[in-house]
Structure 1
């Protein structure tokens, strides 16, 4: 244990004991800690973002920590809402850890998720004194977080976590207040010490941003169990800019050699394949963090230039999903930027399937990808909105059922100072049509009107294969027959997909149209699109036909006419 941790522990042994201390890390304390930590990160998010200037001046460490903690809090609220407030502490702690892992943003978010996983693992065994549980939790967290990072370094958030874990183990008390305060004080001292632990930090006279955020989380717990005020930054010696003190900090790891941040969730894998994945990611990039929860769900993070190689490595290791790609050039902002927004405008599009996601990205959108069966919750959309780093965002839900959730998420983002407009696109083709006319150089109001008109002018339909006998508006169908659907109603029954595609396209073009867009579903034969395009070019030469691999699992083929 370092001198800072020892002095913090010894100083706390002289602290007078308080009469009322929660006897255990129970459900109420965990939820209260989550709220307090979220509040502290909200209060200092802009400051931590502003000090995040190296290796890429993307200013997002505070935002990443805040979004990760919010995701954890949302998961706890869902557990309580679905199962009642009487759920055991182990269930709530597990939800906290899984929510943080699923919603983790950036390297700092991945490491925070492992801190909360350490808590979940520590509360699971038989009842022990609360102080012993917290000390065990921090030691587990340090081991997990260090294992998650490919190239751990001194002078980072890992150093701060190590100091906190060491102080918690050395304090010599089973009382929760003793251990929590010792850990927080050691973390505060360790944050100040980071300047002298890395040459890059020493040259700039700076402290570590991720470590500063972790201190706030631990300090929130100490404040909660002692009743004192918390959420303040530790005193540090910092440079002066424009007559005011500012903190300057480094991100956990990384370099300025790469253009993108790639993150995804991964399941269907094992430890051996994950080790191979780590090695491959380390070879193509840096800032690699690969962490998991108790159920075998992994969160993968890397800075790289070859996006395809990073995703292909995930495909070889298991089943990647919720893929997020951020280009650093879109986030660059001066270190003394007046607020947390790195650019003026962005479009966020919610999609299912990697093929559609790639289409949307190539058209200039920021993408939130999800699985069709799971859907998207409000917290994920809030996190994605913040992740755009844009002051003004047009949100395309691409699903009528998602529109109310998107509106709720937009309301939360607006309270945080972001301007969000939800364009109620009911399908991915409406979203792609809106995106096709998006022009960031156009006046914002005019651009939104053009996007809305393009979406409204796109009629959509799709084909499904009947699984059982049923009575439809156009007659009885048999299993295996193909149903053509528009506006939520069955409008035709065809013997196979090829015939169904022709009939549906001809029906939709009776009202006119200039462009037909075809999205082929997962497993659909490419000849389906080729045959439809050839027929339409012959029967409707005035129409342009575009065929893409959409990868959707619910419809073998989706049509858009605009």
Structure 2
């Protein structure tokens, strides 16, 4: 029987938790009916404790030299790897224990008692609206009186088991399903592992026969939760303490099961059930720096009415007039301003379409990576999202021109991708500074002509109407030299009023076989954007 737990003992306990949760994971998942019957509590607890163990194994020896240091490392690892409500609560249990043991070389009976009390208190604070009969209830009951290390550990495990048995009487959802609380069952596994380590016996690695739940593991969600289809979690850094309460308030307004908990050193774990993924992430961006974002759709949200539409198209657009062109075609628009949108800006529009399948048109080479990341997040949330490569708004327009929602989804996406790829792109831009190009140096205020992303001509500045017309016709001539029959011109915010007329006259004289479509785009980054099909 151990009288004290040193750093090695703490590591053995966390390892025993991982082995125990691994053995009981499926059984715990099967009885997971509250607050959502999504069958992942055991998996979430296992993932969280594995993160704690991994942190202990990777930390420098100096950081885990004593029990206090080892608890601190485990708590940070658990917080960073927490999954689901149960994982967040478990991370706060470890954080509270770490706070109580900080500076202690070993964990004794009195320090274990203080650690369990502090851990239960922080775990309760992790839940915005505590409910009797849950994991938090079991933890609160597992705070015994004084004694030796083994006496305190054994009493905590026994009191947790007794509290677990009471959970069906406290929570109607559990009684209806005929099960105990899944998170509370995980607490018992964790405390049983502690008793095994203190007693210096091999931890149990198989689930007992009576741990198999009764078959009725289906129940309604708690009041209000049926409105929310997604679980959003992320880590939040660079968030000042005053912003945390504001973040909680915003998340409470868009969803439920809200928790925002920290490690005491500036790192927070954020968790919410909601429908508006973009709003949940945007709230984090306003508060600090979110990372390791995880979005999951609840397994029980399989109703055919979850999506309001079968398909939608989303485009990132520079320029108000160009946005109106896309909106007129029924496209959902992300307006690009001075700064590029974040993946979360785009994600909010994708999820806001309410469509099961979404095609995204970035319309800019610099937005491809943003679109890809937003698509990954949306796919994790249950939507089918495809990004069609579009390095220019004219390629996006070409894709929209062939879009036909009556076709099979895959065929329609292929047609849009082929139309985009078949459209050559050009642009006329005023140089902002001196630079070296593929065809020689340019100076600020020179007019540059681009074809497929490369500079093909330089008209000396200043960028008056004549210089802009020469550059525009020069780019069109170079593009048509390789073939093509339809030129699309998007006039930018600073384009001369007669630039479209000058282009039309040039084509009538030089290429009467080519058609011209001119639109006001209003983009600020290019005087003229050209497409050739």
Specify whether residues 529 and 311 from structure 1 end up closer, same or farther in structure 2 by C-alpha distance, changes over 3 A only: farther
Q: Secondary structure at the match of 1:88?
A: helix
Deviation at 1:143, TM superposition (A): 1.1
Distance in 2, Cα, partners of 1:40 & 1:460: 60
**Equivalent residue for 1:29, pick from 10, 17, 34:** 10
Task: Give the match for residue 21 of structure 2.
Answer: 41
Task: Give the match for residue 118 of structure 1.
Answer: 96
Are 1:357 and 2:347 counterparts?
yes
Deviation at 1:486, TM superposition (A): 13
Describe how 1:135-534 pairs up with structure 2 within 5 A. 135-164=113-142, 166-167=143-144, 170-174=145-149, 178-225=151-198, 226-233=200-207, 240-241=214-215, 255-263=224-232, 264-307=234-277, 310-311=280-281, 313-314=283-284, 317-328=287-298, 331-332=300-301, 353-358=343-348, 361=351
Distance in 1, Cα, partners of 2:434 & 2:206: 65
Deviation at 1:185, TM superposition (A): 3.4
Distance in 2, Cα, partners of 1:507 & 1:187: 80
CA deviations over 1:160-210 (Å, ceiling 9, x no partner) = 11122x13xx251145xx444433333233222211222332344321111
Aligned length: 452
CA deviations over 1:255-290 (Å, ceiling 9, x no partner) = 433223353443444444423433443344322222
Are 1:51 and 2:36 counterparts?
no
Q: TM-score, normalised by structure 2?
A: 0.59
Q: Secondary structure at the match of 2:37?
A: coil
CA deviations over 1:304-363 (Å, ceiling 9, x no partner) = 3455654555455455555544443x64479xxxxxxxxxxxxxxxx9631243466567
Specify whether residues 359 and 528 from structure 1 end up closer, same or farther in structure 2 by C-alpha distance, changes over 3 A only: farther
Distance in 1, Cα, partners of 2:229 & 2:295: 7
Deviation at 1:148, TM superposition (A): 1.7
Q: Secondary structure at the match of 2:193?
A: helix
Answer yes or no: is the 8 Å Cα contact 2:237–2:288 preserved in 1.
yes
Specify whether residues 173 and 287 from structure 1 end up closer, same or farther in structure 2 by C-alpha distance, changes over 3 A only: same
Deviation at 1:139, TM superposition (A): 1.8
Task: Give the match for residue 41 of structure 2.
Answer: 61
Q: Secondary structure at the match of 2:133?
A: coil
Q: Secondary structure at the match of 1:290?
A: strand
Structure 1 gaps, min length 5: 1-16, 335-350, 367-374, 376-383, 399-424, 430-435, 519-526, 549-554
Computed over aligned residues only, the root mean square deviation of the Cα atoms, in angstroms, reads 6.4
Describe how 1:73-152 pairs up with structure 2 within 5 A. 73-77=53-57, 80=58, 85-89=60-64, 93-152=71-130
Deviation at 1:506, TM superposition (A): 9.1
Distance in 2, Cα, partners of 1:72 & 1:487: 50
Deviation at 1:155, TM superposition (A): 0.7
CA deviations over 1:45-77 (Å, ceiling 9, x no partner) = 333222223443322222322333344444445
Q: Secondary structure at the match of 2:257?
A: strand
Answer yes or no: is the 8 Å Cα contact 1:157–1:214 preserved in 2.
yes
Q: Secondary structure at the match of 1:64?
A: helix
Deviation at 1:114, TM superposition (A): 0.8
